Amino acid sequence: MGTPGYRDHPIDEWDPDAPVDEREAEEFLRQYHDENPATGPVTARWAAVRAEIAATGTYEHTPAELSYGAKLAWRNASRCIGRLYWRSLHVVDRRSARTPQEIFAGLVRHLEIAGGTDVRPGNRDSRRGSIRPVVTVFAPAKPGESVARVWNDQLIRYAGHRRPDGSVLGDPDRAEFTATMELLGWKGKGTAFDVLPLIVESPHDGVHMFELPDSAVLEVPLTHPEYGWFAELDLRWYAVPAIANQRLTIGGVHYPLAPFNGWYMGTEIGARNLADAGRYNLLPVVAARLGLDTSSETTLWRDRALVELNRAVLFSYERAGVKITDHHTEAARFLEHVAREEKAGRQVPADWSWIVPPISGAATPVFHRYYHEADQRPNFYLDEEARELARAGRWWASPSPRW
């Protein structure tokens, strides 16, 4: 099941052929009833579920259980700093979607709801950019049956086109996946920000490729509050970060396709996606434009470039009316979440190395303490096969390679 590196996502053991774990089912149902007293005692429901598992190997969540379970999965996501809002998660139940076309329609709808681009005539653009946290839950795995999935790691990401000299135009992290898409017949526009197609694989219909419509892809061109030249860099980023390849597990039931999104924290874009040496690697470019002395590390040119890049991200999203948050505000809100949870008698599972932002760590309050490290379910998990499909667009160790 792989050896997780220290920044890898926790991997739990999952046997797709095994029946639902009764203990997990019971634990979840008790928690759901305990935390929602209006649902009454769990007794009758647990008896019914136990019988259903005995007869079929699994059970079906009610819409209310599904909704609360998905919220708990967010509440338990140790790496997420934005969990204060866990109760506000908008849960879309698409368990009945089967064909790649139905699934793709659900994915497009997800992005429209999340980005506020689901506008109807007469109500134009009123919500555009007011990002809403959404999870869309597709069919659960049934013991011994295969189920649909999406290969992409996020619903929206930019391609990385490898040039003959080995350099990459676009996002180098996506270079292998992009090359596979090209083998499958896809051709991007050839810019540094080509939105990748989605690959939907379903048991009966195989592998299908879809291009996202413009209505689903809200983007923000980047400018700087003071430096006019910043616009000339021709940078942009998308509004909705929607993880597409993690398995949602609730009460022993596994949902391999359950894309979810929040809104961005600026540092994800300005201190990682655009800044990492293995991503868009823009610090030398920004430093040169700023006229900084890059001949010595002690001038802290990287740090100064980082700050201006991050200012540009926050400024541009705000100006475009696209919801975003900064790391100072979000760190304070996270500690508010921890305090609220403790008041409710619960500990907050958290991973320090993910909660502390990638710039100005100690200038935020989340730096100065330790956290309860625990893997609690419901949760989201990244399976090794899903990780490899997202990295390269294929699964080499598969017993029946596709090509």
Read out DSSP for 44-99?
A: HHHHHHHHHHHHHSS-PPPHHHHHHHHHHHHHT-TT-S-GGGGGG-EEEE-TT--S
Q: Per the structure block, which two tokens stand in for 379?
A: 């949760």
CB-wise, 26 or 318, nearer to ligand ARG? Answer: 318
Residues 135-164 as x/- pattern, contact with ligand ARG by CB under 6 A: ------------------------------
Residue 197 contacts ligand ARG per CB under 6 A: no
CB-wise, 84 or 105, nearer to ligand ARG? Answer: 84
Collect all residues with Cβ–Cβ distance below 8 Å to 278 and sequence separation of at least 6: 172, 173
**Amino acid type, 317:** Y
Residue 266 contacts ligand ARG per CB under 6 A: no
Residue 381 CB, nearest approach to ligand ARG (Å):
15
CB-wise, 53 or 73, nearer to ligand ARG? Answer: 73
Residue 171 CB, nearest approach to ligand ARG (Å):
10
Residue 360 contacts ligand ARG per CB under 6 A: no
Residue 115 contacts ligand ARG per CB under 6 A: no
**Amino acid type, 165:** D
Residue 381 contacts ligand ARG per CB under 6 A: no
CB-wise, 102 or 268, nearer to ligand ARG? Answer: 268
d(CA 294, CA 271): 18
Binder to ligand ARG among 106, 116, 160, 262 (CB under 6 A)?
A: 262
d(CA 312, CA 320): 12
**Amino acid type, 149:** R
Helix (H, G, I), strand (E, B) or coil at 195: strand
Residue 314 contacts ligand ARG per CB under 6 A: no
**Amino acid type, 368:** H
d(CA 152, CA 200): 9
d(CA 376, CA 69): 12
Residue 255 dihedral angles phi and psi, to the nearest 5°: -115, 95
Q: Which residue is nearest to ligand ARG (CB)?
A: 262
Residue 265 contacts ligand ARG per CB under 6 A: yes
CB-wise, 259 or 393, nearer to ligand ARG? Answer: 259
Residue 221 CB, nearest approach to ligand ARG (Å):
17
Residue 111 CB, nearest approach to ligand ARG (Å):
14
**Is 175 in contact with 151 (CB distance < 8 Å)?**
no
Collect all residues with Cβ–Cβ distance below 8 Å to 340 and sequence separation of at least 6: 84
Residue 177 contacts ligand ARG per CB under 6 A: no
Residue 170 contacts ligand ARG per CB under 6 A: no
Residue 7 CB, nearest approach to ligand ARG (Å):
12
Residue 244 CB, nearest approach to ligand ARG (Å):
11
CB-wise, 208 or 391, nearer to ligand ARG? Answer: 391
Strands (E), 271-358: 324-325
Residue 74 contacts ligand ARG per CB under 6 A: no
Residue 395 contacts ligand ARG per CB under 6 A: no
Q: Show contacts with ligand ARG in window 240-259 (CB under 6 A).
A: 241
Strands (E), 294-391: 324-325, 379-381
Residue 193 contacts ligand ARG per CB under 6 A: no
What CA–CA distances, in Å, run from 219 to 157, 267, 269? 11, 17, 13
d(CA 393, CA 400): 15
d(CA 114, CA 129): 9
CB-wise, 241 or 256, nearer to ligand ARG? Answer: 241
Residue 268 contacts ligand ARG per CB under 6 A: yes
**Is 81 in contact with 330 (CB distance < 8 Å)?**
yes
Catalytic residue numbers, as ranges:
80, 83, 263, 268
Can you say whether the dihedral through the CA atoms of 99, 92, 125, 224 is positive or negative?
negative
Residue 112 CB, nearest approach to ligand ARG (Å):
17
- The residues binding ligand ARG (CB under 6 A) are 241, 262, 264-265, 268, 273
